[in-house]
Amino acid sequence: MLLRQDLPSHTARLVAPTIETDLSLVGFYGLERNAAFAYRWSSGNALVQMPFGANLAPSYVASARIRAAHPDGPQPLSFLGSGRALATVMPAPEFRVYRLLIPPVPKDDRLSFGLQTQPFIPQGDRRELGVMATSIGLQPLPYIEWPVVLVVPAALASLWGWMRRRGAGAGAVLLVCYPLGAGLSVLYALNRPAPLPFIWLALFTVVAAGVVVLLTSDVRSRLSLALLSLLVSFSGMIWPSWMTDDAFISFRYAYNLVAGHGLIYNVGERVEGYTNFLWTMLAALTIALGGDPVYWSYLSGVAIALAILLLSYWLAKRLLDPAWALVTALVVATSQSLLVYTARGGGLETGLFTLLVLAGSALFVHSRAWRWSGIVFALASLTRPEGALVMALSLFYLGLAGLPAGEPATTHSWRARFRLILLALLPYLLIVVPYFLWRLSYYGDPLPNTFYAKTGGGIRQALRGLAYAQKFALAVGGPLLLVVFIRFLSDWRAAWRTWRGYLLLLVIIYSAYVISVGGDHFPGERFFVPLVPWIALLIADGLAWLYTWAMSSAALRKAAPALLGAILLATSAHALGRSASFDHIIRGDDESVRIWSEIGIWLRDHAAHNESVAALGAGAIAYYSDRTTIDLLGLNDKHIARVKVENMGGGTAGHEKRDPEYVLHIRRPTYIPALPDWSNYFGGPEVLRQYYKLISIRTHTGRELLLWKRLP
């Protein structure tokens, strides 16, 4: 209750050379100085947004320190709160601070504060200038969050009772519940907005801690896993969260399916511009039940991340000592590559695919459950095409080395091994073959359209993939990766016939595949995320061997524990700290998606149903507009996807194929957002002016944007 009575202000100091704030600023120009003061000009429509601010506090006071400087005298200045007019004033010619109460915003809306005035263009300057500003901010008002006050302590009390029922002593229960409660209190005090309300993240953490009770009886392991679950659950609050534009492509297909148009991107066009059938079906189910797929993605991302963490621990505990299973869990929980595509958002199928291939491999190395792995790998194949590669490698290993579960398959005849392969393959084929035949008949192509849009670069593509793999290798462990081979140095044949050989085969061949396709353009090396749990298990196994060897040496025995602790601490800190290298990319991508979402909503409200829009970011605009959308990069356009590009593979993955003449003269979009990269796609504004005129629109948040509209 006390932690919500003195909330810090979220203020952007506009007089600083670099504005450090968690607010999103739109319509403010660069820093300027005169003889008396420093300032920034606003445009005629300036805006500050706090994404997910409604999850932090219900009400805010907005403030802005501004002054009028229009050459014709002060002009009326309107203040907007989340797109709604709050007040209009005549600003003074000297700096004044204006404060306004912003009414409560819905949980699914974006908190924003806007300045709107008549701009002017000074002589020799192209900018439209509004008012001078030195600071702008949003101050959450004190309140009591009764659900947190009541539910979170009740959840911790339930965890206490659950542990006691499972036989834990009072001291052991206290050792888990007290640090977990303290950690929740510290995170509650951070007062940072997140995609999900605090209560959801807290409940996810407590439920995960309850599942841990079933996985281990060791109190230290329970405490460690509970704190790692806390880190995973709240990673979208500790670091920036996001939603990729590509996620909205799947949502667009899901929406059209629920609307009765079929599993398509544009009505009347059968193009398979997605590679995540199962994920898209889950999004469609969410929409059909009246849910928001964006919110569902954030929820499922946290749940999937926790499931990957706990399954990795369970598998490592079966294969290694419980203490080294914790090392596996530590590597998984601190992988920003994994977090950024699960608990921190993203909205892509990466987390679900990782969970499914991890579950399939866990079944495959299980002595009694390996026959069920084919079903799980089939679900993985419906989530990502690479699931078929993992299944093929599993069958290859089964035929070559036998089952890594320890059954005497290595002594079986080839006929016996062939029978085992059929037992694993048959359930897989019963699921995948009907799906493949359906999609072949429905879309007419053996491979998704995205394959044609992204591949064809040969050696240049592979070189780009090597650089991509190098970044991931440095992030996941760097030199520590060498320990995964240590078991193979003494007796590689024995190691090959165990789960170590199986997982190493998956890691090496899957990595070669990612290199061959050239990786992708998203931060955090998305294509390598499915390998994180397997690599974590192999690293823990290698460290276990090294530690045992060091403890057997009189010279190293005393230093070994401290050295191991230092290695784990340094590796984890490096893994978590690498988020700083791409946080600015995530923030920029998320801001772009907000702009494209607002354009889509404007088109939905103002464009005719037979009008269309061209988009470089073909997800959010298409989903929110519900209008025909021409995908300029060809992911959802068969013609562009098959365009031959010179030096293919040397540019940004997935952004190389384009055909502006086809778009302008064949597809003839009604609207094209007047964003720099989008206009340059066609050769610049000079080319577009032959066919289009610029129009100004104001989105529902008060943001002013320019669109090219087709001339009659």
The CB density around residue 173, as the number of other CB atoms within 10 Å, is 20
The CB density around residue 501, as the number of other CB atoms within 10 Å, is 20
Rg (CA), the chain: 28
Q: What is the mean predicted confidence (pLDDT) over 197-205?
A: 96
Is the pLDDT score of 692 beyond 50? yes
Q: Where are the domains of the chain?
A: 2-140, 145-238, 272-581, 585-710
Is the pLDDT score of 409 beyond 70? no
Is the pLDDT score of 30 beyond 90? yes
Distance CA 206, CA 195 (A): 19
For 536, phi and psi rounded to 5 degrees? Answer: -60, -40
The pLDDT value recorded for residue 373 is 93
pLDDT digits (tens, 9 = 90+) for 557-615: 889 999 999 999 999 999 999 998 899 899 889 999 999 999 999 999 999 999 999 99
pLDDT digits (tens, 9 = 90+) for 603-640: 999 999 999 999 999 999 999 999 999 999 999 999 99
pLDDT digits (tens, 9 = 90+) for 61-110: 999 999 999 999 989 999 998 878 899 999 999 999 999 999 887 765 67
- 282-305 burial string, b = 16+ CB within 10 Å, else e? bbbebbeeeeebbebbbbbbbbbb
Distance CA 151, CA 162 (A): 16
The pLDDT value recorded for residue 410 is 47
Residue 214's pLDDT band (cuts 50, 70, 90): very high
Nearest alpha-carbon partner for 235 in 349, 122, 332 = 332
Distance CA 86, CA 404 (A): 67
Q: Which of 363-372, 455-464, 690-699 has the lowest mean pLDDT?
A: 455-464
- C-alpha pair distances (Å), 57 with each of 64, 98, 206, 570: 19, 21, 23, 36
- Provide CB contacts within 8 A for 211, sequence distance 6+: 310
Q: At the topology level of CATH, where does 2-140 sit? A: Jelly Rolls (2.60.120)
The pLDDT value recorded for residue 645 is 82
Distance CA 386, CA 394 (A): 13
For 512, phi and psi rounded to 5 degrees? Answer: -60, -40
The pLDDT value recorded for residue 408 is 46
Is the pLDDT score of 407 beyond 80? no
Helix (H, G, I), strand (E, B) or coil at 136: strand
The pLDDT value recorded for residue 232 is 98
Amino acid identity at 661? E
Looking at per-residue confidence, does 473 or 403 come out higher?
473
Q: Which of 181-185, 452-456, 491-495, 623-627 has the lowest mean pLDDT?
A: 452-456
Is the pLDDT score of 38 beyond 90? yes
The pLDDT value recorded for residue 215 is 96
Distance CA 228, CA 250 (A): 31
Is the pLDDT score of 332 beyond 60? yes
Distance CA 419, CA 502 (A): 19
The pLDDT value recorded for residue 110 is 74
Is the pLDDT score of 16 beyond 90? yes
Residue 661's pLDDT band (cuts 50, 70, 90): very high
Distance CA 95, CA 63 (A): 13
- C-alpha pair distances (Å), 294 with each of 82, 245, 366, 619: 20, 11, 36, 12
Looking at per-residue confidence, does 676 or 317 come out higher?
317
Sign of CA dihedral 293, 294, 299, 301: positive
The pLDDT value recorded for residue 674 is 94
pLDDT digits (tens, 9 = 90+) for 136-146: 999 999 999 99
Distance CA 3, CA 189 (A): 6
The pLDDT value recorded for residue 108 is 58
Is the pLDDT score of 339 beyond 60? yes
pLDDT digits (tens, 9 = 90+) for 114-123: 999 999 999 8
The pLDDT value recorded for residue 457 is 67
Q: What is the mean predicted confidence (pLDDT) over 262-279?
A: 95
The pLDDT value recorded for residue 411 is 46
Residue 161's pLDDT band (cuts 50, 70, 90): very high
pLDDT digits (tens, 9 = 90+) for 512-539: 999 998 989 899 999 999 999 999 999 9
